[in-house]
Amino acid sequence: MKPSILLIDDEPLVGKRLKPSLEKAGYEVETFEDPEAALKRAAERNFDVVVTDMRMEGVTGMDVLNAALARDAKTRVIIITAYATMELAREALSKGAFEVLAKPFSPRDLRDAIGRATAARGKAAS
Partner 1 sequence: MSIVTVASDSWSRGAEVARKAAQALDYRLLADDEVLAEAARRHGVRENRLRQALFEPPSLLGMSRARRQRNIAYLQATLADALLEDRAVYHGPFGHLLLPGVAHVIRVRVTADQQARLELARSRDGLPASRARRSLRQEERQRRFWTAELCRLDTDAAELYDLVINTTNLDVAQVVQQIVEAAGNRRFAPTTYSRERLAQLALETRVRAALVNIDPGVRVRAEQGQVTVQTVAPQARAQRRTAQIQEQASSVDGVTSVQVEVVPDRLSDIARSMR
Catalog residues that contact partner 1 under the rule CB under 8 A: 84-86, 89-91, 93-94, 96, 99-102, 105, 109, 112-113
φ/ψ region of 110 (left if φ > 0, alpha if ψ in -120 to 50, else beta) reads alpha
CB of 86 to partner 1, least distance (A): 4
> Please, are residues 98 and 121 in contact by the beta-carbon 8 Å criterion?
no
How far does CA 95 lie from the centroid of its chain?
15
- Closest CB to partner 1 among residues 30, 109: 109
Sort 114 into a burial class: Cβ within 10 Å, 0-12 / 13-18 / 19+: buried
DSSP string of 57-105, one letter each residue: SS--HHHHHHHHHHH-TT-EEEEEESS--HHHHHHHHHTT-SEEEESS-
CB of 93 to partner 1, least distance (A): 5
- Closest CB to partner 1 among residues 41, 66: 66
CB of 120 to partner 1, least distance (A): 12
- Closest CB to partner 1 among residues 39, 61: 61
- Closest CB to partner 1 among residues 17, 90: 90
CB of 89 to partner 1, least distance (A): 4
> Please, are residues 115 and 96 in contact by the beta-carbon 8 Å criterion?
no
